[in-house]
Amino acid sequence: MLLQERHLTKLRELVYRLDGTEGAAYLLLGKADIKSDPWDRSRRLKLLSHEVVPIPPEEMVSVSSQHVTWGTDSFVRLLKQAQHEDLIVGIVHSHPQGLQNFSGQDDANEPDLVQLVQNRNGTSGMMASLLLPADGSPRARLWVSPKTKFDCRKVSVVGMSLAIHPLEVHNRMPHEIWHRQALAFGAALNDLLRSLKVGIVGCGATGSATAMLLARLGVGQLLLIDEDIVEPTNLNRLHGAKRADADAMRPKVEVVAREIADLGLGVRPHFIRSWVGNSRCRDALRSCDIIFGCTDDHTGRMFLNRFAYFYLVPLIDLGLAILPRASGGFSDLTGRVTVITPGAPCLLCRNIVDIQAAREEDLRRTQPEDYARQKEEAYVRGAGNPAPAVVTFTTATACMAVNELIQGLTGFKGPDGWCWNRAYRFDLHEDRRPGALPNPDCIICKRFEYWGRGDMEPFLDRVG
Ligand SMILES: [Zn+2]
Ligand SMILES: [Zn+2]
C-alpha cells in the first residue's frame, strides 16, 4: 500500500483523538493491478491512497481507548462512489494502547464490513484495512471476501521523502561487499536498497551512469527502458558501452543490462527496448518504487510527470544544459535534478518540459509523413544540431540524482526531505534551488483528482 504523506498526517489526526480514545476514518484507494511483475512474474495489486473521508461525528456510536463503533450510512455512500469510479474502500483505525498488529477483535469485526461491501458491490468487491499503531509502523491488509485476507507486503509513505515500512525484511544483503556502505548509513539502508525496484528511463549518458551507480549502491532490481542503439558518437559518455557495441548496433538497454549482470553483485536488471509511453512498459513501471527520468525527450518526460502523481511513484528527473559562448566560456553549464511527487510542483509548472517540443516529437513518432511535410513547410522546428555532451558533467549530474534518492530514504542532508529542484552550475560552483509554484490551472499538480488515482480508462486519463 502506498500512502500520500498528507493523507497519513490527516489520518493520524482523525484516528488519534485528544482524549486518548480510538478513532476511525475511511480511505478511498486507487489500484495498480500488475498482471506480471517483471522480476518475479507474479500478479500483484498495489493500493494507492486517493482520498481521506472522515466518519461524520453523528455516526459515532461509542468509543473508548479499546474500541470504536460507528454507523455505516456514510460507508454505504462511499461504496457507491467506489463502484462508480473503480476504487477500493478502506477503513483506518488506531490502537492507542500500543498493540502493534491487528487484534483478534479486528479479525472478528472486519468481515461484517466486507460482507456489506460484497452485498452492495458484488462478490468482486474488496476492502482494505489500515492500522496506525501509536508507535511502530503502519500495517495494512486487503480483504477479498469475508473469509480471505492478504497482508500488504509493505506500506510506503510518499511525500517529502520516501518512507518504506516492510512487513518483513527479505533479501538481507549477503556479504562484505556493502560493509563499507553500512559503516556510513547502517545495515538497514543496505537491506532497504536490496528490496527496491528502481526504474531508469533513458539509458544514454545520464541514464547509464545512474544505472551503474544504483547497481553498486546495492539496489536489488533495476528496470531499464530505452529504444535507441549504441552509436559511435555515444562512446564518449555511455558507461559500459564498447566499440564493438556500436559496430553491432546493440540496443543501449542490452549493453547496460549486460554490464550490470557482469558486476556479479546479484542485481537483477530487467530491460525493455521501447519508448516509455508504450503500453508494454506499464506493468514494469507500475512495479517500481521510484523512477529516474534520464530521457531527453519531452513526450517521455510529460508521460512520467503524469505517471508520478497517478501511481504515487516518485520521479527523480535529471538533465544537463551546456551552452558554450562563441567568445569562450559558457552561458550555461548546469546539472539539474528535480523530484516529482504529490505535493511538489510538476515538470510542466516548472517549465522543464516544452509542450510545443513534445507535440513535435509526438507527431514524428506517430505520423512521420505528416512530420516530414510540416518540417518542410517550417511548421515544426525539427531536430537541430546535436547538443554538446561531456562525460564528467553527465556523470556528476547522475551522482546528484542518486544522492537525492539516498536523501529521500535516510534524510542525511537534514529532516526536510527532498530538495524539489536543484541546479548546479559546474563552471561557477553555484548551487541553486530554483522555486516554482503550481500553475493555478494545473490538473496534474494543483488539484488532487489524479493523485493516487491509479488504473483508469484511458490510461493516465490521456487520449491518444
Ligand atoms: Zn484494532
Ligand atoms: Zn503542474
241-288 confidence digits (pLDDT tens)? 999 999 999 999 999 999 999 999 999 999 999 999 999 999 999 999
Of 227, 194, 223, 226, nearest to 290 (Cα)?
223
Percentage, residues of the chain above pLDDT 90: 80
The predicted model gives 130-150 an average pLDDT of 95
Between CA 376 and CA 359 the distance in angstroms is 16
Whole-number Å distance, alpha carbon 156 to ligand 2 midpoint, is: 23
173: pLDDT strictly greater than 70 = no
Whole-number Å distance, alpha carbon 109 to ligand 1 midpoint, is: 9
| Shortest-distance ligand to the CA of residue 105 | 1
Percentage, residues of the chain above pLDDT 70: 97
Whole-number Å distance, alpha carbon 422 to ligand 2 midpoint, is: 17
3-state helix, strand, coil in the chain (%, to 5): 35, 25, 40
Between CA 33 and CA 31 the distance in angstroms is 6
The predicted model gives 9-13 an average pLDDT of 95
Whole-number Å distance, alpha carbon 446 to ligand 2 midpoint, is: 6
Whole-number Å distance, alpha carbon 217 to ligand 1 midpoint, is: 39
Whole-number Å distance, alpha carbon 447 to ligand 2 midpoint, is: 9
| Shortest-distance ligand to the CA of residue 96 | 1
Q: Which residues contact 211 (CB under 8 A, 6 or more apart)?
A: 200, 203, 222, 224, 239, 256, 260, 269
Whole-number Å distance, alpha carbon 76 to ligand 1 midpoint, is: 21
Whole-number Å distance, alpha carbon 428 to ligand 2 midpoint, is: 30
- 3-class state of residue 148 by DSSP: strand
59: pLDDT strictly greater than 90 = no
Whole-number Å distance, alpha carbon 277 to ligand 1 midpoint, is: 42
Average pLDDT, the chain: 93
Whole-number Å distance, alpha carbon 118 to ligand 1 midpoint, is: 22
In degrees and rounded to multiples of 5, residue 134 shows phi and psi of -55, -50
**Secondary element (H or E) of residue 366:** helix 355-366
| Shortest-distance ligand to the CA of residue 129 | 1
Whole-number Å distance, alpha carbon 299 to ligand 2 midpoint, is: 15
Whole-number Å distance, alpha carbon 30 to ligand 1 midpoint, is: 23
The predicted model gives 375-385 an average pLDDT of 63
Cell matching residue 76: 454505504
Whole-number Å distance, alpha carbon 185 to ligand 1 midpoint, is: 34
| Residue 46, pLDDT score | 98
| Shortest-distance ligand to the CA of residue 132 | 1
Whole-number Å distance, alpha carbon 188 to ligand 1 midpoint, is: 28
Between CA 211 and CA 268 the distance in angstroms is 12
Place of cell 527479505: 170
Helices 187-195 + 391-410 axis angle, to 10: 110
Whole-number Å distance, alpha carbon 443 to ligand 2 midpoint, is: 7
| Residue 64, pLDDT score | 75
The DSSP secondary-structure symbol of 228 reads: P
Identity at 183, one-letter amino acid code = L
Contact 234, 241 (CB under 8 A): yes
Identity at 352, one-letter amino acid code = I
Whole-number Å distance, alpha carbon 303 to ligand 2 midpoint, is: 13
Residue 273's Cβ-side half-sphere holds a number of Cα atoms within 13 Å equal to 11
Q: Which residues contact 433 (CB under 8 A, 6 or more apart)?
A: 419, 420, 421, 422, 423
What pLDDT band is residue 379 in, cutting at 50, 70 and 90? low
In degrees and rounded to multiples of 5, residue 157 shows phi and psi of -115, 120
Whole-number Å distance, alpha carbon 132 to ligand 1 midpoint, is: 9
| Residue 18, pLDDT score | 76
Cell matching residue 383: 531536430
Q: Which residues contact 121 (CB under 8 A, 6 or more apart)?
A: 79, 82, 83
| Residue 68, pLDDT score | 77
Whole-number Å distance, alpha carbon 421 to ligand 2 midpoint, is: 14
| Residue 26, pLDDT score | 96
Three-state SS sequence of 280-319: HHHHHHHHCCEEEECCCCHHHHHHHHHHHHHHCCCEEEEE
What pLDDT band is residue 20 in, cutting at 50, 70 and 90? confident
Q: Which residues contact 451 (CB under 8 A, 6 or more apart)?
A: 4, 50, 309, 310, 312, 342
The predicted model gives 378-392 an average pLDDT of 75
Identity at 17, one-letter amino acid code = R
